[in-house]
């Protein structure tokens, strides 16, 4: 356990000091960290899923607080929580079948719930806990074996039966942990391969002799374009340079090395060029639950230009960028103001910032936000590793990946 | 100590360690200055909060981020406080490769002493980074380190790399934004070698003196007055031994850097590394405290900004629009306004209708109603009652301002000072619970003398009053506080009188902006200056290139003239000593050495010597020309050998003739009628050769009539000479 704590602290520090940046890298690191947290977690006798969830939440809370702007971290924490719940659900289902209990009939379940208050105080607490959460089918199912296993030995007195149950439980607990780790491995695999999966769909979207516009540099976009090229599509790309970091220059270089006809334009020339463009393809920092996009600064302007000229605005993003939160005041709360020295040279402007001789208040302000918020109505299509989706469909996708209980990652004070 | 020794032996024994020397840093947690008094009497400078985090955290965080593995924190003043802080802080227990080790010394009074102590400990085994604990930076050292290492490989004498940054000084006050005087540096643009460094330029006269050799040895050099010294140095281990060898080196810049630059015997070189996009600055005085705080709030130091929790220990800040940073638990009245570029710490309460702008407020402060705080720095646990007005003030921990207090610009209130109702603290005052130390004490370059000495040596105040004042909660304060009338009834604290420099210096280094009248004054004087000495200003371009030729010839002539006059006098004096009985052999030596030191030719030497001889001949009493001629002849034959010594070639002989001619015309007209006679004499005594005399005559052929006086006078002699030579030819 202590070595896991050290790992967690190390990662938290790295996030705090912005040594790990970018959603892909942080998603991957988070998933790997959570995997080792789970594998080191000692499993209690009862309610293993609850213990795992608590452990992951404890770590997740620290990670999210370390860099709240890096939404991918929170996404992965929630994904892992969801995985634990899912695995628990399925293993419970099999366990119930194995025990020969008639899980099929709902009436039976209800009956057990009615019985429970009379059983013991521990069961009462468990029940209270379960009612605090939303009454999903999953939580209902989750509670059955716990309450059934804990109070049964004293009440029934059948020793042999209890023993066999606990032995069975041991196997099951190991199995739960194993299954969860397996699932997380799959998740890591998914994060690793999301670029390939997205770019597989490239030929469906990029047609012969089209003109594509993009802004800045996104690895997903790059792979997407390259994949289309590899399938012998011939098309042209306009790259807006993406001030102030000018990542567009890097992208242009990479595209040219793959043999794609590339034109570099300034960000301010986007409106002038958009009428010649057939499709805009950009990357994203995060996709919010309402279908809005947090993307590198400048993309909102491109989206508006695209809408004005009725050019499809396509966002490519791996599913780890899918965030179950709704954006509230995204320009401020989900933004990161970077160093002004990206914009201008400190030395040249140092006399504008001489507080001694300018009445003490700075007359020159330099603001360098990292992100833009693009409202859902400006987005035509999302391409994720599971295929193309409409902005309005995002909430549904999110319901597949996350469980509603985990939207707020906070440890329950009761446990 | 033992632990450190153990560490050293480990690093020297282990072969792996030898191969890869860990990057080390020396952090001086003491500025060895008194600029932050009176605050530093109670707390070391490095622990003072800068935008709610101790300065040393910024420095340590930076060192950690650039890959330093071992940081030695040198504590001197208040060393216990620094050590306690480090022990509690995250830096000690942090996992990873970054280790922090405090080094304690009580008798060091300068950076030089500190480095000597570190040298004696023997903990530094390779190149190290030397910073002081008040440096704020986000630069990456990789490039500078690389450059330094490569230079070291080629030239082991390149012992230091200084980090500099482009930053324009104010054209009016000749002060940088950080409140220092502007620095003049001469840098070789190709090698980046530092050739000249001056941080104390005289503002009244707008010119500097450069060594002529500097211009001779380098083809081009750039003179900069718009570079800011970041006080981040990459040093080789030799630097430490240099400090030990030169025990009079105290100040890093004033003594060490200048010392190395002047000393061409050892040939050590200092190079510069200029950073462009990243930030680095050092807090040296209250003005730089203000400037750097604002830079942090404006995010130039990213990622070391309040809302990125770089140091872990601060609570999570939220950054709102317009650069307003707010901690999560701020109790702000609905009618209170927080304006742009302010920061409010955790647990602070702000009352109705209060206005805060451009200020930093610490944790757990209580601010009453109708308070106006502008451009001020308020640390933790401060209580400000209703209707106070603060502008550009610094208020330390635990201060209590009662209702209606007004702090004028530049006021410093040290720890736990209390100010009574409706008191106006005049501009630039410093108020402390501790009385001002006596003058002798403040002359020392010490941030802090000793916990006791500062208090005990207070001349005017009785010790009873003292203990009462230090008491944080006086029960009946108004009873015997006659001495605190300045801070009002129920106030506690002493107003320090301003130092010798007086107000003149106060406004330069204060937190408050320079008052408008002062700027006007500067404006006016700058205009008049321009009118008179336009050339002077032009000769010092902001970053221009001084070409070697134009510069050196400019003053060569003048100096030459001066030098030759001096030389003549020296030679004469030497000659006088011969008359007094010194061995002529020695005189020859002496004249030769004079010639070398004044950089004169043999010809000059001969001329001067001849002049001296003739003068001595003149000094003897004479009644007629004939007598004079006799005297001269005697003198000449007496000093013939001496003179011959200087007359190595025909050129020198001609020079002697020219000199003689000049003398006859100007200084010693007595010889004029005797010119040809003496010439004859010189020839006969074999002092001047026939060739020399003839070529002199030839030289004079084309000259003006007035110049030919003596040629004409000696025409018969010349004619005879010519005939004689022709005869010989035949």
Equal fold, B2-287 vs B556-729: no
CA–CA distance, B180 with B169 (Å, rounded to integer):
9
CA–CA distance, B644 with A46 (Å, rounded to integer):
117
Tokens of B480: 């015997």
Q: Nearest Cβ partner of A351 from B168, B290, B341?
A: B168
Contact A350 B295 (CB under 8 A): no
Supply the CATH number for residue A163's domain.
1.20.120.420
> At residue A27, does pLDDT exceed 70?
yes
CA–CA distance, B730 with B724 (Å, rounded to integer):
10
Q: Provide the pLDDT for residue A365.
A: 85
Containing B222, the helix (H) or strand (E) segment is: strand B220-224
Contact A338 B65 (CB under 8 A): no
- Rg, chain A, Cα only: 26
On chain B, the residues whose CB falls within 8 A of the CB of A342 are 277
> What does DSSP say about strands B372-374 and B355-357: parallel, antiparallel, or unpaired?
parallel
Question: Can you say how many angstroms the Cα of residue A276 is from the centroid of all Cα atoms in its chain?
Answer: 35
Q: Provide the pLDDT for residue A134.
A: 45
Q: Nearest Cβ partner of A362 from B277, B294, B519?
A: B294
Last residue of one domain, picked from the residues A195, A211, A233: A195
How close is the nearest chain A Cα to the Cα of B102, in Å? 23
Asked whether residue A26 falls in the same domain as residue A72, the answer is: yes
**B303, closest residue in chain A (CA to CA):** A17
Asked whether residue A305 falls in the same domain as residue A324, the answer is: yes
> What does DSSP say about strands A387-389 and B99-104: parallel, antiparallel, or unpaired?
unpaired
CA–CA distance, A93 with B460 (Å, rounded to integer):
87
> What does DSSP say about strands B383-384 and A293-296: parallel, antiparallel, or unpaired?
unpaired
Tokens of A80: 């892992």
Do A126 and A143 contact (CB within 8 A), yes or no?
Answer: yes
Bridge partner list, B320: B324
Contact B375 A361 (CB under 8 A): yes
Q: What percent of chain B has pLDDT over 90?
A: 15
Number of domains in chain A: 2
The band of B309, judged by pLDDT with boundaries at 50, 70 and 90, is confident
A369 interface with B at CB cutoff 8 Å? no
Segment A106-114 shows an average pLDDT of 43
A10 interface with B at CB cutoff 8 Å? yes
> At residue B477, does pLDDT exceed 90?
no
On chain A, the residues whose CB falls within 8 A of the CB of B325 are none
Backbone angles phi, psi at B490, to 5 degrees: 65, 15
Q: What CATH fold (topology level) applies to the domain B2-287? A: Spore Coat Polysaccharide Biosynthesis Protein SpsA; Chain A (3.90.550)
Contact A16 B308 (CB under 8 A): yes
More confident residue, B206 or B77: B77
Asked whether residue A266 falls in the same domain as residue A133, the answer is: no
For chain A, the distance separating the N- and C-terminal CA atoms, rounded to the nearest angstrom, is: 19
In B321-401, which ranges are E strands? Answer: 324-326, 331-332, 337-338, 342-344, 349-350, 355-357, 360-361, 366-367, 372-374, 377-378, 383-384, 389-391, 394-395, 400-401
Asked whether residue A243 falls in the same domain as residue A381, the answer is: yes
Mutate to test the interface with A, among B289, B300, B357, B515 (most CBs of A within 10 A): B300
Q: Provide the pLDDT for residue A155.
A: 41
Last residue of one domain, picked from the residues A140, A171, A195: A195
Contact A355 B299 (CB under 8 A): no
Question: What sign does the CA torsion over A41, A44, A48, A53 have?
Answer: negative
The band of B568, judged by pLDDT with boundaries at 50, 70 and 90, is confident
Q: Provide the pLDDT for residue A378.
A: 95
More confident residue, B723 or A117: B723
Bridge partner list, B223: B186
How close is the nearest chain A Cα to the Cα of B490, in Å? 32
Asked whether residue A232 falls in the same domain as residue A189, the answer is: no
Q: Is residue A316 part of a domain?
A: yes
Task: Tell which phi-psi region holds residue B473, choosing left (phi > 0), alpha (psi between -120 and 50) or beta.
Answer: beta
Do B327 and B348 contact (CB within 8 A), yes or no?
Answer: yes
> At residue A387, does pLDDT exceed 70?
yes
> At residue B381, does pLDDT exceed 80?
yes
Containing B221, the helix (H) or strand (E) segment is: strand B220-224
Last residue of one domain, picked from the residues A130, A165, A195: A195
Contact B319 A332 (CB under 8 A): yes
Asked whether residue A260 falls in the same domain as residue A277, the answer is: yes
> At residue A75, does pLDDT exceed 60?
yes
Contact A360 B513 (CB under 8 A): yes
Contact B173 A365 (CB under 8 A): no
Q: Provide the pLDDT for residue B522.
A: 77
Q: Provide the pLDDT for residue A128.
A: 43
Asked whether residue A18 falls in the same domain as residue A136, the answer is: yes
Q: Provide the pLDDT for residue B441.
A: 44
Question: Can you say how many angstroms the Cα of residue A34 is from the centroid of all Cα atoms in its chain?
Answer: 14
In b/e form, how buried is each residue of B414-446, taking b as 16+ CB within 10 angstroms?
bbbbbbbeebebebbbbbbbbbbbeeeebeeeb
What is the architecture of the domain spanning B556-729?
Alpha Horseshoe (1.25)
Asked whether residue A162 falls in the same domain as residue A261, the answer is: no
Give start and end residues of each alpha helix (H) in B580-674. Answer: 584-597, 602-619, 625-638, 640-646, 650-665
Read off the pTM.
0.71
Contact A357 B94 (CB under 8 A): no
Supply the CATH number for residue A282's domain.
3.40.50.10470
More confident residue, A57 or A115: A57
Q: Provide the pLDDT for residue B611.
A: 79
Tokens of B230: 């970041």
Q: Provide the pLDDT for residue B591.
A: 75
How close is the nearest chain B Cα to the Cα of A5, in Å? 11
The band of B663, judged by pLDDT with boundaries at 50, 70 and 90, is confident
CA–CA distance, B693 with B715 (Å, rounded to integer):
11
Tokens of A39: 């594998």
Name the residue among B401, B388, B297, B295 with its Cα closest to residue B339. Answer: B297
In b/e form, how buried is each residue of B177-216, taking b as 16+ CB within 10 angstroms?
bbbbbbbbbbbbeeebbbbbbbbebeeeeeeeebeeeebe
Q: Average pLDDT over chain A, rounded to whole?
A: 80
Q: Nearest Cβ partner of B392 from A13, A348, A360?
A: A360
Q: Provide the pLDDT for residue A389.
A: 93
In b/e form, how buried is each residue of B506-521, taking b as 16+ CB within 10 angstroms?
bbbbbbbbbeeebbee
Q: Average pLDDT over chain B, rounded to whole?
A: 77
> At residue B464, does pLDDT exceed 70?
no
B503 interface with A at CB cutoff 8 Å? no
Contact A356 B177 (CB under 8 A): yes
Domain ranges for chain B: 2-287, 410-512, 516-543, 556-729
Q: Domain containing A300: what range?
A: 200-335+370-406
The band of A285, judged by pLDDT with boundaries at 50, 70 and 90, is very high
**A8, closest residue in chain B (CA to CA):** B95
Per-residue pLDDT tens over the stretch B243-292: 888 888 888 888 888 888 887 777 888 999 998 888 999 998 888 899 89
Asked whether residue A75 falls in the same domain as residue A207, the answer is: no
The band of B645, judged by pLDDT with boundaries at 50, 70 and 90, is confident
On chain B, the residues whose CB falls within 8 A of the CB of A368 are 299
Q: Which of A12-26, A169-183, A224-238, B398-412 has the lowest mean pLDDT?
A: A169-183
Q: Provide the pLDDT for residue B386.
A: 92
Asked whether residue A270 falls in the same domain as residue A191, the answer is: no
Q: Provide the pLDDT for residue B638.
A: 76
Question: What does the H/E/C string look like for B83-134?
Answer: HHHHHHCHHHHCCCCCEEEEEECCCCCCHHHHHHHHHHHCCCCCCEEEEECC
> What does DSSP say about strands B53-54 and B49-50: parallel, antiparallel, or unpaired?
antiparallel
Contact partners, residue B505, CB within 8 Å, separation at least 6: B499
How close is the nearest chain A Cα to the Cα of B321, in Å? 7
Most confident listed range (A274-288, B61-75, B226-240): A274-288
Q: Provide the pLDDT for residue B400.
A: 92
Q: Provide the pLDDT for residue A268.
A: 93
Q: Which of A141-145, A371-375, B579-583, B584-588 has the lowest mean pLDDT?
A: A141-145
Per-residue pLDDT tens over the stretch B149-179: 999 888 888 889 999 988 888 777 777 788 7
Q: Provide the pLDDT for residue B537.
A: 39
Tokens of B78: 């208040």
Backbone angles phi, psi at A212, to 5 degrees: -110, 140
CA–CA distance, A315 with A283 (Å, rounded to integer):
6
Q: Is residue A415 part of a domain?
A: no
Q: Provide the pLDDT for residue A297.
A: 92
Name the residue among B109, B115, B63 with its Cα closest to residue B86. Answer: B63
The band of B453, judged by pLDDT with boundaries at 50, 70 and 90, is very low
Contact A356 B179 (CB under 8 A): yes
Residue in the structure block whose two tokens are 């160093």: A339
**A62, closest residue in chain B (CA to CA):** B312
Segment B365-372 shows an average pLDDT of 94
Asked whether residue A25 falls in the same domain as residue A165, the answer is: yes
Q: Is residue A401 part of a domain?
A: yes
**A361, closest residue in chain B (CA to CA):** B358
For chain B, the distance separating the N- and C-terminal CA atoms, rounded to the nearest angstrom, is: 96
Q: What percent of chain B has pLDDT over 70?
A: 78
Q: Which of A252-256, B126-130, B553-557 has the lowest mean pLDDT?
A: B553-557
The band of B91, judged by pLDDT with boundaries at 50, 70 and 90, is confident
> At residue A106, does pLDDT exceed 50?
no
């Amino acid at each position: 356990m202590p070595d896991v704590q050290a790992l967690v602290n190390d990662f938290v520090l790295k996030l705090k000091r912005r040594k790990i940046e970018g959603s892909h890298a942080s998603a991957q690191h988070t998933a790997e960290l959570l995997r080792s947290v789970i594998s080191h977690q000692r499993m209690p006798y009862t309610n293993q899923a609850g213990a795992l969830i608590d452990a992951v939440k404890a770590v997740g809370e620290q990670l999210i607080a370390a860099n709240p702007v890096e939404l991918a971290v929170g996404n992965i924490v929630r994904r892992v929580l969801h995985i634990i719940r899912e695995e628990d659900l399925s293993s419970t289902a099999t366990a119930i079948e194995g025990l020969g209990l008639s899980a099929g009939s709902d009436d039976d379940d209800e009956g057990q719930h009615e019985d429970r208050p009379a059983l013991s105080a521990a069961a009462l607490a468990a029940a209270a806990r379960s009612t605090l959460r939303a009454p999903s089918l999953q939580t209902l199912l989750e509670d059955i074996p716990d309450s059934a296993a804990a109070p049964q030995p004293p009440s029934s007195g059948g020793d042999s039966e209890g023993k066999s149950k606990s032995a069975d439980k041991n196997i099951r607990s190991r199995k739960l942990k194993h299954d969860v780790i397996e699932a997380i491995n799959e998740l890591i695999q998914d994060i690793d391969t999301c670029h390939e999966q997205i770019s597989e769909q490239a030929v469906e979207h990029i047609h012969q002799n089209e003109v594509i516009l993009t802004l800045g540099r996104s690895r997903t976009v790059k792979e997407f374009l390259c994949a289309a090229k590899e399938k012998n599509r011939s098309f042209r790309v306009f790259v807006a340079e993406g001030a102030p970091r000018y990542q567009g220059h890097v992208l242009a270089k990479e595209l040219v090395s793959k043999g794609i006809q590339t034109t570099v334009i300034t960000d301010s020339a986007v409106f002038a060029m958009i009428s010649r463009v057939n499709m805009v393809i950009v990357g994203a920092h995060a996709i919010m639950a309402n279908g809005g996009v947090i993307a590198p600064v400048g993309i909102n302007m491109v989206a508006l230009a695209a809408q004005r000229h009725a050019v499809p605005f396509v966002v490519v993003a791996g599913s780890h960028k899918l965030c179950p939160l709704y954006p509230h005041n995204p320009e401020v709360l989900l933004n990161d103001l970077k160093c002004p020295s990206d914009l201008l040279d400190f030395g040249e402007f140092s006399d504008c910032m001489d507080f001694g001789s300018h009445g003490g208040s700075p007359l020159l302000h330099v603001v360098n936000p990292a992100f833009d918020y693009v409202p859902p109505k400006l987005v035509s299509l999302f391409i994720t590793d599971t295929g193309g989706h409409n902005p309005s469909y995002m909430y549904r996708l999110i319901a597949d990946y996350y469980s509603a209980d985990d939207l707020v990652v906070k440890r329950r004070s009761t446990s | 100590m033992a632990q450190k020794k153990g560490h050293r032996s480990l690093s020297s024994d282990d072969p792996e360690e030898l191969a890869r020397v860990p990057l080390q840093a020396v952090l001086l947690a003491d500025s060895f200055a008194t600029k932050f008094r009176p605050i530093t009497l109670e707390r070391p400078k490095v622990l003072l909060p800068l935008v709610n985090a101790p300065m040393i955290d910024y420095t340590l965080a930076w060192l950690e981020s650039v890959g330093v593995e071992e940081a030695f924190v040198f504590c001197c003043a208040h060393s216990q406080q620094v050590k306690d802080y480090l022990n509690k802080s995250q830096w000690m227990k942090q996992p990873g490769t970054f280790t922090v080790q405090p080094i304690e010394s009580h008798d060091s009074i300068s950076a030089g002493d500190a480095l000597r102590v570190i040298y004696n400990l023997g903990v530094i085994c390779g190149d190290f980074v030397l910073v002081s604990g008040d440096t704020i930076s986000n630069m990456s050292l990789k490039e500078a380190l690389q450059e330094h290492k490569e230079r070291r490989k080629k030239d082991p004498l390149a012992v230091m790399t200084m980090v500099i940054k482009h930053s324009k000084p104010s054209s009016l006050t000749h002060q940088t934004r950080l409140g220092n005087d502007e620095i003049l540096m001469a840098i070789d643009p190709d090698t980046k070698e530092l050739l000249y460094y001056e941080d104390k330029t005289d503002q009244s006269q707008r010119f500097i003196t450069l060594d002529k050799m500097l211009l001779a040895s380098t083809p081009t050099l750039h003179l900069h007055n718009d570079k800011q010294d970041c006080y981040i140095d990459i040093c080789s281990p030799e630097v430490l031994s240099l400090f030990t060898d030169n025990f009079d080196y105290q100040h890093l810049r004033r003594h060490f850097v200048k010392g190395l630059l002047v000393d061409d015997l050892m040939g050590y070189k200092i190079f510069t590394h200029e950073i462009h996009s990243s930030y680095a600055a050092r807090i040296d005085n209250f003005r730089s405290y203000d400037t750097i705080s604002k830079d942090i709030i404006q995010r130039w130091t990213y990622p070391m900004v309040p809302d990125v929790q770089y140091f872990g220990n601060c609570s999570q800040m939220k950054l709102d629009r317009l650069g307003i940073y707010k901690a999560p638990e701020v109790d702000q009245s609905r009618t209170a306004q927080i304006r742009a570029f302010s920061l409010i710490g955790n647990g602070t309460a702000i009352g109705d209708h209060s206005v805060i702008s451009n200020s930093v407020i610490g944790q757990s402060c209580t601010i009453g109603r109708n308070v106006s705080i502008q451009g001020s720095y308020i640390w933790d646990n401060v209580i400000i009652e209703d209707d106070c007005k603060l502008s550009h003030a610094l208020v330390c921990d635990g201060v209590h301002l009662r209702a209606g207090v007004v702090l004028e610009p530049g006021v410093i209130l040290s720890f736990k000072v209390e100010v009574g109702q409706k008191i106006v603290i005049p501009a630039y005052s410093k108020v402390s619970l501790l009385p001002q130390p006596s003058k002798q004490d403040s002359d020392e370059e010490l941030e802090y003398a000793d916990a006791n000495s500062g208090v005990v040596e207070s001349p005017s105040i009785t010790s009873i009053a003292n203990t009462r004042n230090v008491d944080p909660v006086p029960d009946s304060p108004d009873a015997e506080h006659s001495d605190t009338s300045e801070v009002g009834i129920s106030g506690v604290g002493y107003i320090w009188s301003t130092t010798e420099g007086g107000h003149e210096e106060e406004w330069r280094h204060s937190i408050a902006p320079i008052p408008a009248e002062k700027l006007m004054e500067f404006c006016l004087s700058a205009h008049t200056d321009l009118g008179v000495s336009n050339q002077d200003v032009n000769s010092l371009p902001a970053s221009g290139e001084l070409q070697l030729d134009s510069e050196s010839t400019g003053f060569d002539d003048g100096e030459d003239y001066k030098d030759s006059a001096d030389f003549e006098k020296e030679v004469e004096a030497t000659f006088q000593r011969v008359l007094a009985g010194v061995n002529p052999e020695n005189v020859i030596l002496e004249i030769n050495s004079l010639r070398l030191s004044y950089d004169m030719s043999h010809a000059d030497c001969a001329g001067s010597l001849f002049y001296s001889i003739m003068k001595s001949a003149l000094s003897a009493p004479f009644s007629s020309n004939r007598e004079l001629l006799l005297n001269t002849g005697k003198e000449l034959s007496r000093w013939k050998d001496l003179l011959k010594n200087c007359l190595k070639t025909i050129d020198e002989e001609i020079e002697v003739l020219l000199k003689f001619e000049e003398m006859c015309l100007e200084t010693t007209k007595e010889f004029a009628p005797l010119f040809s006679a003496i010439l004859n004499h010189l020839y006969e005594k074999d002092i001047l050769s026939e060739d020399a005399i003839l070529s002199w005559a030839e030289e004079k052929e084309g000259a003006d009539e007035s110049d030919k006086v003596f040629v004409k006078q000696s025409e018969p002699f010349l004619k005879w000479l010519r005939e004689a030579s022709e005869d010989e030819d035949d």
